[in-house]
Structure 1
Amino acid sequence: MFKVSIILACYNVDAFIEDAFESIVRQSAFAQFEVIPVNDGSPDRTWEIIQEYQKRYPDNFFPISFDQGSGGPGRPRNAGLERATGEYVIFMDPDDRIYKDGYSTLLKAMEKHQSDVVIATRYGVKEKADGKNPVWVDWMADPPYVNQNSYEVKLDLLSQRPVILKTIYRRDLIDRYGLRFLESVSSSEDEIFDKKYLLLSEKITKINDVVYLYTVARTGSITSKIRIKVYEDLVPIFKGLDDSLSVYFNDAIVSYRVAALLRTFYLPKLLLLDPGLTDRALELCRDACEAFGFDRLLQTANATDKRIIELLRDRSYSQLMLFFMNHRTGAANRRNRVQAKKLKEMERRPVKLALKASSLVGLSRKAVKEKGGLGKLWTTRIRKNLAGAPNGYWIFMDRREKASDNGEALYRYVRDNRIHDKIAFIIRRDSPDYARLVADGFNVVAYNSLEHWRLHYNSEYFFASHVDDVIIKPWASFGATDGKPRYKLVFLQHGIIRSDLSGWLGAKTYQLFCASAKREYDGLINNVRYNVGPDQVKLTGLARHDLLEAKDGDYVLVSPTWRSFLSDATEAEFRDSEFFRSWHRLIHDSRVSEAMTGAGVRLKLVLHSSISQFAHCFDEDEHVEVVRYSDVTSFAELLSSARTLVTDYSTISFDVLYLRRPVIYYTFPELQKHSTNAGADLSLYGELGTRVEEHEAAVAALVAAAGDGFRSAEDKVRAADDFFAYGDRQNRKRIIDAVLEGSAK
Structure 2
Amino acid sequence: MTEATPDTVTTPDGGRPLFSIVSAVYNVSRYLAEYVDSIEAQTFDLSRLQVVLVDDGSTDDSREVLEAWAARAACEVVVLHQENAGQAAARNAGLERATGEWVTFIDPDDTVNEGFLSSMAAFVAAHPEVQFLSANVVLRHEGTGELGKHPRWKMYTDDRLVDLDVATSFIPGSSTTSIMRREVIGDLRFNAGLRPNFEDGDFAVRYLLRAPSRQTGFVGSAKYFYRKRADQSSTLQTGISAVGRYSTVPREGYLALLHHAREQSGEIPMWVQHVMLYELSWYFSSEDAMANSASAIEGELAASFRATLGEIAELLSPDVVDSFSIRKLQPHWRDILLHGLRGTSWHTPYAVIDQFDRTKKLVRVLYRYIGEPPAEKVTLRGRATPPVFAKVRAIDFFGDTLMWERILWVDARGTLEVRLDGARVELLGGWTGVRTRALGARAIANRFRRPGRRRKEALARLKVDPVRVLAARGPARKQFTDAWVLMDRIHDANDSGEILYRWLRDNRPDVNAWFALEKDTPDWKRLQADGYGSHLVAHGSLRWKLLMINAAHLISSHIDAPVQRPPAILQHVQPKWKFTFLQHGVIKDDLSKWLNPKQMDVFVTSTPGEYESIAGDGSPYVFTAKEVAMTGLPRFDRLHEKAQRITGDACDLILVAPTWRNWLVPPLKAGSQRRVIDSHFFETEYARAWTAFLRSPELTELAARTGRTVAFLPHPNIQPVLAKMDLPDSVLRLSFDGADVQEYFARSAVMVTDYSSMAFNAAYMDRPVVYFQFDAQRVMAGGHVGRAGYFQYPRDGFGPVVDDVEAAVAAVADIAENGYAARPEFQARIDATFPLRDGQCCARVTAAVEALDRPLAR
TM-score, normalising length: structure 1: 0.52
Supply the distance in 1 between the matched residues of 2:715 and 2:741 (Cα, whole angstroms).
12
2:630 is equivalent to residue 539 of structure 1: yes
Q: Which amino acid aligns with 1:650?
A: S
Supply the distance in 2 between the matched residues of 1:531 and 1:382 (Cα, whole angstroms).
39
Choose from 763, 766, 771 the match for 1:657: 763
2:843 is equivalent to residue 719 of structure 1: no
Q: Which amino acid aligns with 2:652?
A: D
**Cα 1:249/1:193, change in 2 over 3 Å:** farther
Supply the distance in 2 between the matched residues of 1:255 and 1:473 (Cα, whole angstroms).
26
Instruction: Tell me the CA shift for residue 423 of structure 1.
Output: 1.7
Choose from 503, 509, 516 the match for 1:413: 503
Instruction: Tell me the CA shift for residue 448 of structure 1.
Output: 1.3
**Pairing 1:183-202 to 2, within 5 Å after superposition:** 190-191=346-347
The residue number in structure 2 matching 1:675 is 784
* 3-state SS of 2:806 partner: helix
**Contact 2:467-2:546 at 8 Å conserved across structures:** no
Q: Which amino acid aligns with 1:559?
A: A
* 3-state SS of 2:844 partner: helix
* 3-state SS of 1:630 partner: coil
**Pairing 1:283-682 to 2, within 5 Å after superposition:** 381=465, 384=468, 388=472, 391-442=481-532, 443-475=535-567, 483-526=573-616, 530-548=621-639, 549-550=642-643, 551=646, 552-568=650-666, 573-621=680-728, 623-631=730-738, 633-669=739-775, 673=779, 674-676=783-785, 678-679=787-788
Supply the distance in 2 between the matched residues of 1:203 and 1:404 (Cα, whole angstroms).
36
Deviations 1:564-591 (A, max 9, x none): 2223566751111111110110111111
Q: Pick the structure with more helix per residue.
A: 1
Choose from 669, 685, 704 the match for 2:814: 704
Instruction: Tell me the CA shift for residue 240 of structure 1.
Output: 2.8
Choose from 248, 256, 263 the match for 2:394: 256
Q: Which amino acid aligns with 1:547?
A: R
Deviations 1:522-542 (A, max 9, x none): 111136653211111011001
**Contact 1:645-1:662 at 8 Å conserved across structures:** yes
Instruction: Tell me the CA shift for residue 415 of structure 1.
Output: 0.8
Q: Which amino acid aligns with 1:702?
A: V
Q: Which amino acid aligns with 2:842?
A: R
**Cα 1:594/1:508, change in 2 over 3 Å:** same
Supply the distance in 2 between the matched residues of 1:127 and 1:481 (Cα, whole angstroms).
41
Instruction: Tell me the CA shift for residue 669 of structure 1.
Output: 2.2
**Cα 1:711/1:679, change in 2 over 3 Å:** same
Aligned length: 438
Instruction: Tell me the CA shift for residue 472 of structure 1.
Output: 1.5
Supply the distance in 1 between the matched residues of 2:469 and 2:690 (Cα, whole angstroms).
49
Instruction: Tell me the CA shift for residue 741 of structure 1.
Output: 2.5
* 3-state SS of 1:645 partner: strand
Q: Which amino acid aligns with 1:731?
A: C
The residue number in structure 1 matching 2:853 is 743
Q: Which amino acid aligns with 1:191?
A: H
**Pairing 1:17-166 to 2, within 5 Å after superposition:** none
The residue number in structure 1 matching 2:162 is none
Q: Which amino acid aligns with 1:463?
A: I
**Cα 1:692/1:242, change in 2 over 3 Å:** farther
Q: Pick the structure with more strand per residue.
A: 2
**Contact 2:664-2:678 at 8 Å conserved across structures:** no
**Cα 1:693/1:426, change in 2 over 3 Å:** same
**Contact 2:554-2:580 at 8 Å conserved across structures:** yes
Supply the distance in 2 between the matched residues of 1:534 and 1:698 (Cα, whole angstroms).
40
**Contact 1:196-1:244 at 8 Å conserved across structures:** no
The residue number in structure 2 matching 1:69 is none
Unpaired runs of 5+ residues, structure 1, are 1-124, 141-158, 164-181, 208-236, 267-296, 298-375
- Give the aligned CA root-mean-square deviation in angstroms: 4.5
Unpaired runs of 5+ residues, structure 2, are 1-316, 355-360, 379-384, 405-459, 667-675
Deviations 1:423-452 (A, max 9, x none): 211111131111111222221111111221
**Cα 1:743/1:572, change in 2 over 3 Å:** closer
**Contact 1:516-1:726 at 8 Å conserved across structures:** no
* 3-state SS of 1:643 partner: strand
Q: Which amino acid aligns with 1:437?
A: L
Supply the distance in 1 between the matched residues of 2:606 and 2:333 (Cα, whole angstroms).
29
Instruction: Tell me the CA shift for residue 545 of structure 1.
Output: 0.8
The residue number in structure 2 matching 1:692 is 802
Q: Which amino acid aligns with 1:675?
A: H
Supply the distance in 1 between the matched residues of 2:353 and 2:679 (Cα, whole angstroms).
59
**Cα 1:709/1:459, change in 2 over 3 Å:** same
TM-score, normalising length: structure 2: 0.45
